[in-house]
Structure 1
Amino acid sequence: MSAVANPATVAECLRVGAGFSQGDRNWIAEQFATLDARLAGFHADATELEVSVKDRNARGQKVTLECWVAGRQKIVTTSSEEDLHAALNDVRDDLRRRLNDAKTRQEPRHNKHLRETDQPEGVPVQAAERADAETA
């Protein structure tokens, strides 16, 4: 996969929605920073993240993290954890899993490991890769 010229990062793409203030944005972005490696495959100008919370600090609060990447379906993750930090970690980790799942579903032909396991018995991998290269 070629490098993206302007890779998406949490710091660049994150918006805070209902229940959060701009003052909350920096610590939330720090908590979500581990998503940067996963977002780097997308263009920053085609990627948006929005985090919101309903009934903040109350029993039954609900944190929602939405992710839009151009050309893909919107991903929405939610958490009802009572601790705000735990809820933010929950939606972050779920988004990372769902981005990984979407990438695997959308691009298995680029995954050498998946191609190797799909070869019929008795066909050397190198011969199959040569055949793939000739038909590409």
Structure 2
Amino acid sequence: MSGARGNPATVADCLRVGAGFSQGDLNWIAEQFTTLDSRLAAFPADGTELEVSVKDRDAKGQKVTLECWIAGRQKIVTTSSEEDLKAGLHDVRDDLRRRLNDAKTRQEPRHNRHLRDTGRPEPIPVDEATPSADDEPAGGTGPTA
């Protein structure tokens, strides 16, 4: 995969808050997600979007959702049911990082001839004239009857 054309994507440029969060939460959430910057840098900022939302914030069954749209790829959605909001944010962040790494790994072998060409060795043909272990030569050392 080649690098991003134009400006590389960063959390600060691409993140927006959805339901359950206010604009005042944006900077704090962006700080929690800064480790995503190195993974997002491979994509252009103008073709990348992140949206974080929370359902039932601070309640026992809260659910944090992080959605990622990258131009030319399928949308990635990660969720967490952690009771602590900060732990839930870290959970969705780490899951997104894993999925972006997996997506990159899935694409790399197509562009790496060495990985593409290594396969199973060719089978060795069995010569019918060669006796097998089951065939015992006449007058061999087998049991006598």
Length-normalised TM-score, structure 1: 0.81
Structure 2 CA distance for aligned equivalents of residues 103 and 97 of structure 1: 10
* RMSD (Å) for aligned C-alpha atoms: 1.9
Letter in 2 for 1:57: D
1:45 aligns with 2:46: yes
Moved over 4 A (4+): none
Per the alignment, residue 118 of structure 2 pairs with 119
SS in 2 for 1:107: helix
Provide Cα deviations, 1:21-56, integer angstroms capped at 9, x if missing partner.
Answer: 000000100110000000000000000000000000
Matched, 1:36 2:37: yes
Partner SS state of residue 50, structure 2 = strand
Separation (CA, whole Å) in 2 of partners of 1:120 and 1:110: 16
Q: Where do 5+ consecutive residues of structure 1 fail to align?
A: 123-136
2 CA distance for matches of 1:34 and 1:51? 15
- Pairing of 1:1-136 with structure 2 (within 5 A): 2-4=2-4, 5-110=6-111, 115-116=114-115, 118-119=117-118
CA distance in 1, matches of 2:77, 2:17: 15
User: What is the distance in 2 between the residues matched to 1:99 and 1:19?
Assistant: 25
Higher Rg: 2
Count of matched residue positions in the alignment of Structure 1 and Structure 2: 120
Instruction: Name stretches of at least 5 consecutive residues in structure 2 with no aligned partner.
Output: 122-145
Q: Which residue in 2 is equivalent to 1:128?
A: none
- Amino acid corresponding to residue 71 of structure 1 in structure 2: G
- d(CA) in 1 for partners of 2:3 and 2:116? 26
TM score, norm. by length of structure 2: 0.76
1:72-126, Cα deviation, whole Å (9 max, x unpaired) = 00000000000000000000000000001111112323458xx35853689xxxx
Assess, with a 3 A threshold, how the Cα gap between structure 1 residues 55 and 118 changes in structure 2: closer, same or farther.
same
The one-letter amino acid paired with 1:22 is: Q
Q: Percent identity?
A: 80
